[in-house]
Amino acid sequence: MEDALSLVKRRPDMFPRQNGQHGRQPGLGLVEHLMRDALVYGNRACEVFQAEEWWFVVSETDWLLLGAHEDQVGDAFYQIIATPEIEDHGLRAEILLNAFADAVWVIAPTGYKMIKGVELQRDQLKRLIDARQLTRKWRRIVAFWVNAKPDTSGKPNI
């Protein structure tokens, strides 16, 4: 049986707004989808910003937890979670980030968790978040980047 992440990766045509096709700015469809989820499930103020190649969605409420323990936050990035309260046949953004972004990090006041990417990105993310000088008390940040031009060298792009 095929796992959910493999299914999404195998069928990018099912997610044209999120997979970077149609000449859209890389990551824009993903950030729109993630922001929608943060607002619906967090129901509080959110902020989106871009620094260098990274997109950041920042929320005063931790919309990823949804009653789960912090150790389970990454699970949503590997599962298709339906969102019938938002739209028919809709799904949460996390699995789409994992499928179509080149790097994904989940950040809480207690620390950084890499969903995909390389460990060297942690310092870069800390620097970018500190430079932003967030004024709201945030509970969750999801940071991701989508490489507009795929690297075929095999070396990590940080």
Question: Residue 154: beta bridge partners?
Answer: none
pLDDT at 16: 66
CA 95 to chain centre: 8
Tell me the whole-structure pTM to 2 decimals.
0.84
Instruction: Decide if 146 contacts 20 (C-beta within 8 A).
Output: yes
Residue found under tokens 């990417």: 117
Alpha carbons within 13 angstroms on the beta-carbon side of residue 124 total: 20
- Alpha helix ranges (H) inside 79-133: 94-100, 121-132
pLDDT along the chain (158 residues), means of 10: 84 71 72 89 84 93 72 81 82 91 92 93 94 84 82 47
Closest of 7, 24, 29, 6 to residue 101, by C-alpha: 29
pLDDT at 151: 47
Question: Residue 91: beta bridge partners?
Answer: 82
